[in-house]
Every structure is written in structure tokens, then in C-alpha cells.
Copies of this chain bind each other. A is one copy, B any other.
């Protein structure tokens, strides 16, 4: 039994009151008892994971809202002096805009997509919003094409297979903000390191260098 019980109660009560709901209403919607919810809100009892998910759903909030978020440093990234990463000029070059720390949710990258560029299809956890700063870009998601130009945005789930194309002769600048950690972040902060031999690692990195994810791996 792990110590340090979580205190989700205050946030649950705040959310409930903001929506002007009574315990009875929430009890009916969740199928939990009024008394239990009262105890949860005062941190006398901790709900099970599935009960918390149910409560969150009824309050129309993501579960993560109720969990402690780690401290986030303020981080400025200035256009001058910002490193651009690309191994191959024919690939996307990246400028990282966000800071990194364990548990961070947001990652922002400015991408300079070269003319005629065509990325491999990728899919990963999270949600993404892209904003076209200049030029034209095509996003293909689940075989659906979206042609975007400066000022346009696209909001999509990164879990869906997606790829990027620049069909023009000009470089396109795109701002991409997502909730998925960029590759390389986890290896850099916190967590545990693996045990034993690492000979199989080289092969993996070599493969990853070939595509979009390989490119992202360069950001360190």
C-alpha cells in the first residue's frame, strides 16, 4: 500500500459547485452514494480509479485535472539564438519552443517543411494543434487530406495515422503544439533507467533516423 494518499476532493468540490450541482445530482449521475461523494470531496476517502473517471465524466472534465500537476518553470524561447535541428536539408528542420520537465503536457515545435517534402505516416498518443505560419501544407489524417495555408489551423488526435506534405516549391513554416512527449524527453528526465545490456539500442536508433520520428529524436 503506497503512502501519501491523493487529495482530489477540493478540486472535485470546486468543479461541482462551479456547475451548481448538488451532491445528490452527482450521486444520481455517477451511481455513487451521496455520503461517499461527500467524503471524497473532503478527502476522507479516496475514490477508486474507475469511480474517479466516472466522476470526472459527469463533471465533464479530464481526470488529469484532479491530479497534482508538477511545477512548471517559466520558459521563454526567443527567435534569435534558437537552435534549428535537421540532419538532412531535405528533411524538416525543427525549432523547439517548449520547455521540458517530468509530467509536462504541452510540447511546441516550429517546423520548417522543405519544398516537396513528404513525411512517413506516424501515430502516437495525444492531441495536436498545428498553425500554419507561412506557406502551404497538406496534412493527411486517416487518408483524409487537409490543405492549409497561412493562418489556418488543424486540431486532430495524434493517435490517428497522419503524415505531412509540402506540395509547393517554397518552405512552409508550421507551429505544432501537442500533448504527446517528444521522443528523447523521457530518457532525459526522471524515471528509471533500464538494466542490462544495451546492444539492441543502436539498431533501434538507426531505424528511427529514417523518418519523421527519427527526425524528432534529433531534438536534444
Contact = CB atoms under 8 A, between A and B. Distances in A.
Contacts of A156: 72-75
Given A60-B191, A97-B153, A179 B106 contact: yes
B106 A75 contact: no
B60 A50 contact: no
Contact of A177 (B102, B106, B192, B195): B106
Q: How many copies of the shown chain assemble into the complex?
A: 2
Contact of A49 (B22, B46, B77, B98): B46
SS class of chain A's interface: helix, strand, loop or mixed? loop
Interface residues of A, number: 93
A54 B5 CA distance: 11
A87 interface: no
A165 interface: no
Interface string A192-206: 111110100000000
Interface of A: 2, 4-6, 8, 18-22, 25-26, 29-32, 46-54, 57-65, 67, 69, 71-79, 97-99, 102-106, 108, 125-129, 131, 133, 141-142, 144, 146, 148-157, 159-160, 175, 177-179, 181, 186-187, 189-196, 198
- Enumerate the 7 nearest inter-chain pairs by beta-carbon distance, A residue then B residue, closest first: A60-B191, A79-B151, A20-B194, A72-B157, A64-B64, A60-B190, A97-B153
